Amino acid sequence: MRASICALPLALAALVAGAPALARQQPAVSPQGQAQSTGVSADQRANRVVQPYIEVGQVLSAELSPGDDVLTFTTIAAGVDINVQGRNSGAAVSLRYERNIGYGDNSVDSDTLSGVARGTLALVRNTLSLEAGALASRTRVDAGGGTTTNPLVREDAESRFYSFYAGPSLNTRVGDVGVQGVARVGYNRFENDAVLTNAQGDPVDVFDDSVTYMGQVRAGTRAGEVLPVGLAVTAGGFQEDISNLDQRVRDLFVRGDVTIPVSPTLALVGGAGYENVEISSRDALRDANGNPVIGNDGRFVTDPASPRVLAFDVDGLLWDVGVMWRPSSRTSLEARVGERYDSTTYYGTFTYAPSQRSAFALSVYDGVTGFGGLLNRSLASLSSDFEAIRNPVTGDFGGLVQGAEGQSVIGGLGSVRSAAFRGRGARASYQRRMGRTTAALGAGYDRRTFIAAPGTALGPLDGLTDESYYVIGGLTRQIGQNANLTTNAYVNWFDSAEPNGDVTAIGGSAAYNQSLTRRLTARAAVALDYFDSEFTAEDFAFATALVGLRYDF
């Protein structure tokens, strides 16, 4: 199958059921010297929810363009949603197994396991805890390079993402000094059923799997405790070992930070230190003509005897300055600018929640990583108190969750290239509740500049850039005590570094749920999705409908 390497935001596969998303992506090792907080939120929902269920439904999927194929199939699913929250521990799990049974000569049968899990277990109260997270999701890559909400139209177009991480975190005090630490090990994998090729027909090396390691320790005092200013020292490191051409992303740093209060709500912040960042890889095996050898999976075959070649090497000063503004518990701003990766860097966050009915969040990020490191960071930044949003037609988890801390996208945006990259961008979301109605809007921009060693098979990617933009809107209305209606719409643009690789995706949906008894719910959903790719002169359009029943035990 010919396809560009665009994997549109994983959230698009879940938008027919969920609200817009904000993904708060931070650099692999926080340059401002603060370990990421992943504690349990103070949600007002029940402290313990364990909800197993079974579902059965009938689905009709129609290809409107360029063909006119119509598929019908029965879906049978079993799953469990868990949300257990304690004072110092908590976990949220959404796990689902689905079997699709097709009819007719062109029927497609499939089995799917999807879900997301995130938990924190207190080993020593208020001091030492164990954190873990896991993700399983699927998407679809068509000849136009886009993903759809209907992966059964072409089974060989299906792709799957897996991610897992675990590690301890520490938060304690030694006299007047606060000490925080975190360590994580993660694994990530991407599987695709068909070899992807570019516009010239050459196989494209997409991400296979990687192992990540992250560690950080910080010691500091708050302003006014020992000195009028706050002081901190942080040391940390991140490494991702990518199987494609044995790539390695390594980032080690040590830095000092100072916080200077200007008023009770405003402080100047700054820091400086030393950082060593290296990205390296080996070359592919070469045939008699000197061409890279391609494996059966379409990826380059690594030559283990080839020397390791540096693609990126920065060794020296890092610094940044900025402001922290917290006029109330409902408003928070932190913005920084400085130098990192031997160039200018800027990042920050802004949150504003004027009431319990509305919230706005903005995040600007900058970091060097591989595709797997992005998945692990997304999981680690997720609260252990959330609700997974699933596609009401396919039942897939596409990476969108909603919790007490807002909405989040778990997973990667844009391309699934194997090369390491520097990722920069911004994401924003706004949500408002108006009586029985909840409305939400999200927008984002993601830019990836790829980094590859010259002279290797990935060398031509060095300096190329993929960009993604998206706007998402959703509206949910509670109808009486036993029913609800959800409508959603999205538009996504992907600008690929590959010639003729740009993709535009537009879609919308509506879903209705009606409780028949305390445990039995009737479900109906419809969705329309349209994809316009420069890769092919043909556009793709799909319509999908479902009717079914769900039983909660």
Helix (H) or strand (E) holding 372: helix 371-380
Spatial contact of 475 and 449, defined as CB atoms under 8 Å apart:
no
Name the nearest CA neighbour of 535 among 496, 502, 495.
Answer: 502
Task: Please give the domain boundaries of the chain with CATH numbers for all domains.
Answer: 10-206+342-552 (2.40.160)
14-38 average pLDDT score: 32
Helix, strand, or coil (residue 289): coil
Label residue 138 by pLDDT band (50, 70, 90).
confident
DSSP 283: P
Express as a percent the part of the chain with pLDDT over 70: 84
Name the nearest CA neighbour of 213 among 170, 146, 166, 273.
Answer: 166
Whether the predicted pLDDT of 1 surpasses 60? no
Quote the pLDDT of residue 5: 45
Q: Which residue has the higher pLDDT, 200 or 315?
A: 315
Whether the predicted pLDDT of 548 surpasses 90? yes
Express as a percent the part of the chain with pLDDT over 90: 52
At 126, list the tokens.
Answer: 């208020």
Spatial contact of 353 and 330, defined as CB atoms under 8 Å apart:
yes
Quote the pLDDT of residue 164: 95
Cα–Cα distance between 293 and 45 in angstroms, integer? 55
Task: Give the Å distances, CA to CA, from 146 to 1, 6, 109, 400.
Answer: 13, 6, 22, 18
Measured in whole angstroms, how far is the alpha carbon of residue 432 from the centre of its chain? 23
Quote the pLDDT of residue 199: 64
Give the chain's mean pLDDT: 83
Label residue 411 by pLDDT band (50, 70, 90).
low
Quote the pLDDT of residue 7: 46
Spatial contact of 323 and 333, defined as CB atoms under 8 Å apart:
yes
Name the nearest CA neighbour of 236 among 187, 205, 276, 197.
Answer: 276
Whether the predicted pLDDT of 13 surpasses 70? no
175-193 average pLDDT score: 93
Cα–Cα distance between 335 and 357 in angstroms, integer? 26
How many CB atoms are located within 10 Å of the residue 361 CB?
A: 22
CA-derived radius of gyration, the chain: 24
484-501 average pLDDT score: 83
Quote the pLDDT of residue 193: 74
59-70 average pLDDT score: 87
Sheet holding 406-409, edge to edge: 386-390, 397-403, 406-409
Quote the pLDDT of residue 132: 96
Quote the pLDDT of residue 19: 30
Q: Which residue has the higher pLDDT, 499 or 354?
A: 354
Quote the pLDDT of residue 24: 30
Helix, strand, or coil (residue 414): coil
Cα–Cα distance between 314 and 342 in angstroms, integer? 6
pTM: 0.85
17-26, 276-285, 372-381, 534-543: segment of lowest average pLDDT: 17-26
Q: Which residue has the higher pLDDT, 339 or 43?
A: 339
Cα–Cα distance between 416 and 377 in angstroms, integer? 16
Q: Which residues contact 552 (CB under 8 A, 6 or more apart)?
A: 51, 52, 53, 519, 520, 521
At 346, list the tokens.
Answer: 């800027």
Q: Which residues contact 476 (CB under 8 A, 6 or more apart)?
A: 19, 437, 438, 439, 484, 485, 486, 487
**Taking the alpha carbons of 130, 136, 139, 141 in that order, is the dihedral positive or negative?**
positive
Quote the pLDDT of residue 236: 96
Quote the pLDDT of residue 17: 31
Whether the predicted pLDDT of 269 surpasses 60? yes
192-206, 264-278, 316-330, 379-393: segment of lowest average pLDDT: 192-206
The amino acid present at 449, given as its one-letter code, is T
Summarised one tens digit per residue, pLDDT across range 43-64 is 444 478 899 999 999 999 888 8
DSSP 152: G
Quote the pLDDT of residue 206: 86
Spatial contact of 3 and 194, defined as CB atoms under 8 Å apart:
yes
* Cβ neighbourhood burial of 220 (10 Å; 0-12, 13-18, 19+): buried
Name the nearest CA neighbour of 3 among 194, 181, 186, 161.
Answer: 194
The amino acid present at 537, given as its one-letter code, is A
The DSSP bridge partners found for residue 521 are 515, 550
